[in-house]
Chains A and B, each alone.
Chain A
């Protein structure tokens, strides 16, 4: 198998390296790739969409249809992970660990015993008896998470002007929730942002995108042609495209955040949603 792989790989690589000489030099401004289509985007992008970051303009407007499917891919991955891994477990089918916070004593309660209430301030549930009580980590994360979230919102909203946009912002928002899940525990994270909410907001995010496109279609323009939204928003065609980009970026951010968190829930608990990393 290894020899076969080596032969296949060397053949492919050799073929490609052999043809590298035909390629234009690295950074050649006169290569066909840089002269045929891309000048249009650079020269008209800002005028057409009012978004100085041309990557955002191309991503969300000129090739917005690709991006819709990019979001759908993420959503499909979330569905796939849920579909493959999720399994229901009956509560109370195995012993649980609790820590008595004032003393630091760990309690092991067998199934059938009385468990402390979920939101008790004295007892906290743990995944296993060796989980340390990391007060520094918890408090640092508590401080950092709001800033990550605000930064993520900035990235989403400022995608027109600087690197970033819905996808990056969505990943950052998801990272904040994942950080919470790691520093505290998965159950508390699920308590705040449940699986059902994640699944529904994943659908909702993609729906905002596709729905905005379909709305343009209902208003008589082509699919995803945000100019049609102009009369509705009370702005001219160029600003309508700019607002259209913002709307779909919000949809992408929502979908990506929800789905990445959803995938994390399923992967980190192997589908049981009881204890995480």
Chain B
């Protein structure tokens, strides 16, 4: 049986995923997306995929966010959706 914390984290993952797409500010979206990646990394660590979780923590929550912020810095923060 899956533990409640596992279900909770997965639900949070979905919420933060929707949040990243709903925020009307690209810098905010990048940061919420970083939170999404981090929660995903937690979910994977719980499922025993430590190598994958480690990579996601370094890449998804770290480098990807830096790339997104860099791109937003050179374009614009504003968005219509």
Contact = CB atoms under 8 A, between A and B. Distances in A.
Interface of A: 26-27, 53, 55-56, 59, 163-165, 167-168, 171-172, 174-175, 178, 182, 260, 263-264, 267-270, 276-277
14 contacts: A163-B50, A163-B51, A164-B51, A168-B58, A171-B62, A175-B63, A178-B63, A263-B67, A264-B67, A267-B67, A267-B70, A267-B74, A270-B74, A277-B69
Interface of B: 2, 50-51, 53-55, 58-59, 62-63, 66-67, 69-71, 73-74
Looking at chain A's contact residues, the main secondary structure is helix
Mostly, the B contact residues are helix
A91 to B, nearest CB: 20
Nearest to B1: A27
Contact of A264 (B53, B58, B59, B70): B70
B63 A174 contact: yes
A168 B54 contact: yes
A52 B66 CA distance: 33
Contacts of B70: 264, 267-268, 276-277
Contact of A175 (B2, B50, B58, B71): B58
A178 B54 CA distance: 19
B2 A277 contact: no
